[in-house]
Structure 1
């Protein structure tokens, strides 16, 4: 996690300066019939004037009129029930998740985040643990590092809507830059963070942008990120508002675009992916620049804006639509269809497996190199996951691990290695189960390889055991920095 060591302090400083969204006490007083009708009628008027699809605007307004006539607003009601009822009426008339009434608290939050400009929006244990006789580490040390990383992640989320940044190598062969969003936030601070992340990923072989939990955000950040993936100006999408001329969204290459335009890009999506997140996936899919994996998205292909209603309530109204300028087609209600379908919770792991196969790197191994590679993979997984039962099947009874770094020399034998594994000396969050496996050399019944883990570099020796291999020696030392 080089990114967090380099930028954690910077990010925490930014978030302290930025402050947090104001919290608003929810209204509990009931709304009178008069107030409810006043809000609904003003909302009707806005829909008729602003809603992007004129024929649907009439349908939506009529739905509210019928609700009034049927007496659905004839009794005092709480703000929460009033909003829920009204929005249900709208969705029954015509499904559009961008359209709805907002409580005063929600309306103020939206105005804090987005202002009043049209945009693609969001949906209305401690102690000392030592490897027996070996290299010791403490859970307190791990906790301190994780706390620092968590502060960095909190800052990323607050300022830029980013929930995770990492360089991932699950197969030991391919280095993948990974970035996950929960919301696209457009600000100079957010842009600075994204720019620094891309600087960190310049040596990654390819990228994954994970939008499975991203429910929207600002269209300007969609464009800003898209700019990195095209070395020439490219027409991504067009948008129109009711009665207006089309507005084209083009990429503008930056200094890093020539680097990232050559890298393969996978975008992960789910049913929760919505609005601006869909716009990003849609534009890069339609231009052939990215592969989309996961599930069909939420279907929020309209742009919305916010309007003031009586009594402090607000309205979110779809005022425009975004579409492919080549076909005129958008993704409203039907969503962005993935190129490869995976279950949501397995999309990342399945994508990483796909990348391994597509890279062709396994095909360059001889049969014996491939067997040794699989032993190294299993050895790493057992260490990271504290699976001593699996470790004992991978190492020889003559196994030795020798740690030498900074004047220290420590050793572990077979039994001590199993104890260290069982105690969790190598346990880290799963996303960081990185490794690099390289220089596998086989000579008769012996093999050697280099294994690079998150904190250490290992020179591994293996011996033929029956039809397979077992690890007999692991000489390792600290890295100068962590991946």
Structure 2
């Protein structure tokens, strides 16, 4: 006799009554809205007395009916009941247990923390198809890798149309890539502890922040829970344009609990509170600014992103041109010992705008040293590089070489030594070269 048939024989009205009593207790004890839990219990008891549940002959159909009944009252799409898989672990062989573990690992690897696809599309638009928000321990490094691939794009599309949600910490982390100031993104009130947990943008992420790059988010009816939070956070802070369809409407996080050996329920034990709207998207979903059909969502979003990227490039290049012009004018009017600080500030602005990186500043310094034959002017440029990139052995090595050329051997030794120290800590492949350079200038100083 199969297990399902054996269960059917015990599928009595008393069994259903016990299930509803247990379910009601869990809701009353843990559901974030206790008043609604009481109303839901009353509704279930009335249905039980009316014989509504008599028609269901197994746990699968009974669970579906219970889900429909509770959602009729609480309108909470997170709360659902399901039939448990029979626990057969005691009868499993060691080999089958190992196989299942490896299969779970394979599913996790293939899931790739929710990151499905990343592409650089025409018009230098980055596209990310994200199917879920994994835990930080699994997803952080993968997030950083994918965001690095899009770090040089002029607009970004994040496709959440097939994203059912996930970990709020990962939502917070990905949001932080798109803000450069401290902002309260969302709060979660938890009934059990009677506390409100705040989720602020993080000061640091494992890649380049893109606080002003145009951002577009594709949503659909399948966009749910944590994916809705990401979309809502960005929408309420006016950081992104949402394109697609209204999302699923689930804002209350929680956890799974066993009703009995046969059935389990997901009980929302918390609720989201947006700092701007003072509410959330529960039951209504996140409504996109640009409504489209499912079929048109991608093409419409890409068209908007390409236009935004073109505008962004023009504005950025205008800004870059002005920054570079300001720096060049200051370099043309350099006065030794008097305008060094001004040059540093100009270089810092170029770095902060992502116009210059360490290599760019290093090359600029050598241009003035070798091409323009202005070693004194090269000095504040290369010194600025050591301040802006204090953990770069190469920056200190270049500055030390210039100091040696300019005759300041003692300062050259100090900076070569700093290059060696940093290279030793970082296990730099050029450590021996830096050590050799240090010995050369030490000999020069010795025989001075």
TM-score, L = length of structure 2: 0.60
Per the TM alignment, residue 265 of structure 1 is displaced from its structure 2 partner at its CA by 1.1
> How many residues are aligned here?
292
Asked if 1:224 corresponds to 2:173, the answer is yes
1:213/1:236 CA distance change after superposition, 3 Å:
same
Please give the secondary structure, in 1, of the residue aligned with 2:266: strand
Per the TM alignment, residue 334 of structure 1 is displaced from its structure 2 partner at its CA by 0.8
Please give the secondary structure, in 1, of the residue aligned with 2:52: coil
Which residue of the other structure, out of 234, 237, 249, is the alignment partner of 1:284? 234
Distance in 2 (CA, whole Å) between partners of 1:222 and 1:306 is: 21
1:361/1:277 CA distance change after superposition, 3 Å:
closer
Q: Which residue of 2 aligns with 1:444?
A: none
1:78/1:154 CA distance change after superposition, 3 Å:
closer
User: 1:53-452 maps to which residues of 2 (within 5 A)?
Assistant: 53-74=33-54, 77-105=57-85, 157-169=110-122, 174-242=123-191, 244-255=194-205, 259-360=209-310
Q: Tell me the alpha carbon deviations over residues 413-440 of structure 1, each in whole angstroms, 9 at most, x when there is no partner.
A: xxxxxxxxxxxxxxxxxxxxxxxxxxxx
1:279/1:105 CA distance change after superposition, 3 Å:
farther
Please give the secondary structure, in 1, of the residue aligned with 2:186: strand
Per the TM alignment, residue 262 of structure 1 is displaced from its structure 2 partner at its CA by 2.6
Distance in 2 (CA, whole Å) between partners of 1:361 and 1:104 is: 54
Greater relative contact order (Cα < 8 A, sep 6+): 1
1:106/1:321 CA distance change after superposition, 3 Å:
farther
Q: 2:155, 2:305 within 8 Å by CA — same for their partners in 1?
A: no
1:102/1:362 CA distance change after superposition, 3 Å:
closer
Q: 2:157, 2:216 within 8 Å by CA — same for their partners in 1?
A: yes
RMSD: 2.8
Q: Tell me the alpha carbon deviations over residues 254-276 of structure 1, each in whole angstroms, 9 at most, x when there is no partner.
A: 25565311312111101111111
1:352/1:76 CA distance change after superposition, 3 Å:
closer
Per the TM alignment, residue 322 of structure 1 is displaced from its structure 2 partner at its CA by 0.5
Distance in 2 (CA, whole Å) between partners of 1:250 and 1:96 is: 26
Per the TM alignment, residue 60 of structure 1 is displaced from its structure 2 partner at its CA by 0.8
Please give the secondary structure, in 2, of the residue aligned with 1:311: coil
Please give the secondary structure, in 1, of the residue aligned with 2:254: strand
Per the TM alignment, residue 289 of structure 1 is displaced from its structure 2 partner at its CA by 1.6
Q: Tell me the alpha carbon deviations over residues 30-64 of structure 1, each in whole angstroms, 9 at most, x when there is no partner.
A: 25223332222100111112111222111111111
Q: 1:236, 1:251 within 8 Å by CA — same for their partners in 2?
A: yes
Q: 1:230, 1:257 within 8 Å by CA — same for their partners in 2?
A: no
Distance in 2 (CA, whole Å) between partners of 1:186 and 1:348 is: 27
Distance in 2 (CA, whole Å) between partners of 1:195 and 1:179 is: 13
Q: Which residue of 1 aligns with 2:11?
A: 32
Distance in 2 (CA, whole Å) between partners of 1:276 and 1:78 is: 32
Distance in 2 (CA, whole Å) between partners of 1:255 and 1:262 is: 16
1:310/1:336 CA distance change after superposition, 3 Å:
same
Distance in 2 (CA, whole Å) between partners of 1:291 and 1:106 is: 45
Please give the secondary structure, in 2, of the residue aligned with 1:344: coil
Please give the secondary structure, in 2, of the residue aligned with 1:105: coil
Higher strand share: 1
1:336/1:75 CA distance change after superposition, 3 Å:
closer
TM-score, L = length of structure 1: 0.56
Q: 1:323, 1:331 within 8 Å by CA — same for their partners in 2?
A: no
Distance in 1 (CA, whole Å) between partners of 2:86 and 2:287 is: 31
Q: 1:157, 1:163 within 8 Å by CA — same for their partners in 2?
A: no
Higher helix share: 2
Q: Unmatched 5+ residue regions in structure 2?
A: 89-105, 315-448
Per the TM alignment, residue 318 of structure 1 is displaced from its structure 2 partner at its CA by 1.4
1:191/1:253 CA distance change after superposition, 3 Å:
same
1:94/1:73 CA distance change after superposition, 3 Å:
same
Distance in 2 (CA, whole Å) between partners of 1:363 and 1:159 is: 32
Q: Unmatched 5+ residue regions in structure 1?
A: 1-24, 109-152, 365-483
Distance in 1 (CA, whole Å) between partners of 2:155 and 2:72 is: 43
Distance in 1 (CA, whole Å) between partners of 2:294 and 2:286 is: 15
1:342/1:75 CA distance change after superposition, 3 Å:
closer
Distance in 1 (CA, whole Å) between partners of 2:311 and 2:237 is: 28
Per the TM alignment, residue 232 of structure 1 is displaced from its structure 2 partner at its CA by 2.4
Q: 1:229, 1:257 within 8 Å by CA — same for their partners in 2?
A: no
Q: 1:156, 1:162 within 8 Å by CA — same for their partners in 2?
A: no
